[in-house]
Structure 1
């Protein structure tokens, strides 16, 4: 063989190894995917490596590696890992684009998945414009793939997610979507995901069912703020793999966010703790908060566990504040003061919860009766919350802040107990006292009254209170309250 032919042969061999020439979602890849969705990440990596040795040209490997990064970052929230891992995005997309198997429905689909997952991650880490661009690219690829392969069911997952995301973009970020020419419809996207959840078990793509349930839970709770969907979502999660850590986490997450505190504690304490699963600090965060809502004496254990194991930037100040309040209610003022100092010194004021924690740490100590009522309410213990409040007299509070909060807390409790008249009266008192202060109580009271009147189909009054909520400035949670009020006006066609 001549030197020239030897070089050509060598070049061919190198290219044949580095180029992905097929998409084979075989049994080994299915097992790796299922391990990822169950958060058995090390097992998934081993299975992916096994597939690389068996069929190094299989393009499914690239998608699975991206799934590993996606769920690892969702669990850890680690900014350093995010900056390191996002460099793989372009290489993976290039390798998928170079794949010679363009007749496979997975050719465009795997590219769309990489764009979609990084679009979600970029949004989570604050790279909003780049996030929107990736999501738009994912949408375009999925639409093209649907035209080429209309019977390829997995296309529907990404299309539905993009519909929800662009249909629920906060009003203060609408400029980005307008710039990119993207629109969406959140209710339509939810219906698409609901239909897909039912369709998948009847198809050969049933393995994607748990992932769809994962997104349905997050969208209902975090995007739509649907706090009354507990029974429905818990029913969905019950169908997931019984050995899945993601299942246990979602059960606890849905229960906690829906004020089913006892169930949340039981689900979270039952989560598998084997080393075969990825570390999940959010479980300790939720469990510590749920136990604090019940005023358990060991709540501090789980809050401290979260601080020790979490490497991200969110809820650090919030967790230190919860520890401060835990010790305040125990009467340990020295530890209360210590943890207040940690709120001021540690963590980041990026998330609204952390911004609120910092403000509370720099304010006067809370009234302990109001604080207990707050925790009981958050846990869904409405009778206990009411018992903390009903014997209080507003004039016994020295601070205007506490008077506003008293009416606000009463309004919230009566609202959840479906005593609308009492709720409206107390919410209005909170508005009257607090509309010109920097506390969020008045604005959220106006938003809550809007919800009550919307339920009653008194749309003019609902719109009036949504507008009142928006008009109040310079308070905590301004962005989220405004966005929810604007969503309300949008539902009313205002």
Structure 2
């Protein structure tokens, strides 16, 4: 009897040991992780192959391969590619489920894979399965946090999830209550900040820093893009990794968001020299945007064309055609403007604000005011004096109500970004008063910008008033993004 008991115990011990030995976060895996997050998939694959040769039972390689496949689909928006990797992804998932439940990496891997799948399914409008996977990811990662509160990698994905939950519109909160999902932007930010601190100070987690920076960057860009926070983040990225295409993409987004167009164009010169990385054709679109903001129409057209010729996804397609139409208009070619605008209606989808805006322009049948287009482009590039000169030279008479409201709004934005806060307040209020009944976004965004000014000044009551005023307005353009920032502002001031 004792011999039998010893045999069973020995069998269990060696079985558990065998499972434990099937997983290791070693130097090879950390290095592969870095290259994958840099979109240097060729080098990532080489390191994974080396690890498989040395440690064929290390299941970490399955997670790395899956992460690489996720990034490929996310960047390319290629639904056929997603379908082709679905079976192998399921096999990897099943194998990772075999890890011991006492290992925090098990639920971390499974939670991440569920969230990654959900993000892809959302891109392809597969909402039911995406909802199931988001819920599953939340359960896995929340349970993992309770069991292993000091396990830092978990904080990264859980932080992103908590921010996503915090951004859900109020009219959908009943769904969150129904499935018992809780989280806030503040909580998610704190979790990401904690992960960044640990990755800065603990050599075991240094390899995660670039991932944390990337998520933090897009949180800041989409929640409340304060210039100081973005500048600090930009400097941290500068120090992190100069050969990381994903972080370079984030840097370009930060520079474009803060009106530093010349610096963004310099970043493009750097990344255009980077070879061997996974094709990231959306960067062609962004380079076209930067060049157009400098009114470099001929050069911009080349990059928009490259994007349209090579990108396999559906997002930004309509807007790229619209920008080619604007280029034609800036070059006094109305016939070509009409031709390109017809392409807007025929291609892409309208999931994002820019594409919906392009679709509305195509459907309106109206030719936009060329001076307002030029002023908008110059402002977006941070060329405030040139933009103001264009607006100042516009005739006083002959503008439609909508054009006059847009002109006032553009002047408000220039004053705001140039430091003239009192002038900006006056012009924003004028925009709200004259534009609140229009379907354009000018009045709504003016209320948001006023709220941000008052929040920075410490005038909480006025900030809340304008955030709520923004939320009370209905408009057709960029409503989700503008309302999302206003909602985050209300929550921030209520905490």
Tell whether the structures are fold-level matches, with TM greater than 0.5.
yes
Does residue 302 of the first structure (1) align with residue 303 of the second (2)?
Answer: yes
Deviation at 1:221, TM superposition (A): 0.8
**Equivalent-residue separation in structure 1 for 2:187 and 2:227 (angstroms):** 19
Contact 2:223 2:485 in 1 (8 A): no
| Residue 381 of structure 2: aligned partner | 379
**Equivalent-residue separation in structure 1 for 2:408 and 2:275 (angstroms):** 47
Moved more, 255-264 or 238-247: 238-247
Does residue 419 of the first structure (1) align with residue 395 of the second (2)?
Answer: no
| Residue 315 of structure 1: aligned partner | 316
**Equivalent-residue separation in structure 1 for 2:388 and 2:450 (angstroms):** 19
Deviation at 1:310, TM superposition (A): 0.9
| Residue 3 of structure 2: aligned partner | none
**Equivalent-residue separation in structure 2 for 1:140 and 1:57 (angstroms):** 28
Residue aligned with 2:271, SS: coil
Deviation at 1:208, TM superposition (A): 0.9
Deviation at 1:184, TM superposition (A): 1.0
| Residue 437 of structure 2: aligned partner | 436
| Residue 388 of structure 1: aligned partner | 390
Residue aligned with 1:154, SS: helix
Does residue 39 of the first structure (1) align with residue 56 of the second (2)?
Answer: no
Q: How does 1:47-58 map to 2 (within 5 A)?
A: 47-58=47-58
Going from structure 1 to structure 2, the CA distance change for 1:482 and 1:34 (only over 3 Å counts) comes to closer
Contact 2:284 2:304 in 1 (8 A): yes
Contact 2:294 2:378 in 1 (8 A): yes
Contact 1:265 1:290 in 2 (8 A): yes
| Residue 368 of structure 1: aligned partner | 370
Moved more, 126-135 or 356-365: 126-135
Contact 1:40 1:277 in 2 (8 A): yes
Total equivalences in the alignment: 475
Deviation at 1:83, TM superposition (A): 4.0
**Equivalent-residue separation in structure 2 for 1:380 and 1:105 (angstroms):** 46
**Equivalent-residue separation in structure 2 for 1:283 and 1:365 (angstroms):** 28
Residue aligned with 1:396, SS: coil
**Equivalent-residue separation in structure 2 for 1:124 and 1:224 (angstroms):** 24
Deviation at 1:135, TM superposition (A): 3.6
Q: How does 1:169-208 map to 2 (within 5 A)?
A: 169-203=168-202, 204-208=204-208
Deviation at 1:213, TM superposition (A): 1.0
Going from structure 1 to structure 2, the CA distance change for 1:213 and 1:394 (only over 3 Å counts) comes to same
Tell me, which stretches of 5 or more residues in structure 1 are unaligned?
Answer: 1-18
**Equivalent-residue separation in structure 1 for 2:196 and 2:386 (angstroms):** 38
Deviation at 1:94, TM superposition (A): 1.8
| Residue 339 of structure 1: aligned partner | 340
Moved more, 347-356 or 448-457: 448-457
Contact 1:129 1:176 in 2 (8 A): no
**Equivalent-residue separation in structure 2 for 1:286 and 1:173 (angstroms):** 33
Moved more, 232-241 or 134-143: 134-143
| Residue 11 of structure 2: aligned partner | none
**Equivalent-residue separation in structure 2 for 1:149 and 1:443 (angstroms):** 44
Deviation at 1:491, TM superposition (A): 3.2
Going from structure 1 to structure 2, the CA distance change for 1:187 and 1:86 (only over 3 Å counts) comes to farther
TM-score scaled by length of structure 1: 0.88
Contact 1:119 1:131 in 2 (8 A): yes
Does residue 493 of the first structure (1) align with residue 479 of the second (2)?
Answer: no
**Equivalent-residue separation in structure 1 for 2:119 and 2:111 (angstroms):** 12
| Residue 324 of structure 1: aligned partner | 325
Cα offsets for 1:367-404 (capped at 9, x unmatched): 1211111001111111211111124354331x222111
Which structure has more relative contact order (CA 8 Å, sep 6+)? It is: 2
| Residue 10 of structure 1: aligned partner | none
Contact 1:89 1:118 in 2 (8 A): no
Contact 1:142 1:159 in 2 (8 A): yes
Does residue 280 of the first structure (1) align with residue 280 of the second (2)?
Answer: yes
**Equivalent-residue separation in structure 2 for 1:480 and 1:179 (angstroms):** 25
Going from structure 1 to structure 2, the CA distance change for 1:179 and 1:171 (only over 3 Å counts) comes to same
Residue aligned with 2:240, SS: coil
Cα offsets for 1:155-210 (capped at 9, x unmatched): 33223222222222233543432222111121232233223223213221211111
**Equivalent-residue separation in structure 2 for 1:151 and 1:454 (angstroms):** 34
Does residue 232 of the first structure (1) align with residue 264 of the second (2)?
Answer: no
Residue aligned with 1:362, SS: helix
Contact 1:21 1:59 in 2 (8 A): no
Contact 2:222 2:485 in 1 (8 A): no
Deviation at 1:75, TM superposition (A): 1.7
Q: How does 1:87-102 map to 2 (within 5 A)?
A: 87-99=87-99, 101-102=100-101
**Equivalent-residue separation in structure 2 for 1:149 and 1:463 (angstroms):** 38
| Residue 465 of structure 1: aligned partner | 466
Deviation at 1:475, TM superposition (A): 2.6
Give the RMSD, CA atoms, in angstroms: 2.6
Going from structure 1 to structure 2, the CA distance change for 1:25 and 1:366 (only over 3 Å counts) comes to same
Tell me, which stretches of 5 or more residues in structure 2 are unaligned?
Answer: 1-18
Cα offsets for 1:257-300 (capped at 9, x unmatched): 22211111111221055552100112111111011111114111
Cα offsets for 1:318-374 (capped at 9, x unmatched): 111111111211222232222112112221122121010111223321212111110
**Equivalent-residue separation in structure 2 for 1:308 and 1:110 (angstroms):** 36
Going from structure 1 to structure 2, the CA distance change for 1:462 and 1:251 (only over 3 Å counts) comes to closer
TM-score scaled by length of structure 2: 0.88
**Equivalent-residue separation in structure 2 for 1:274 and 1:227 (angstroms):** 28
| Residue 63 of structure 1: aligned partner | 63
| Residue 16 of structure 1: aligned partner | none
Deviation at 1:54, TM superposition (A): 4.0
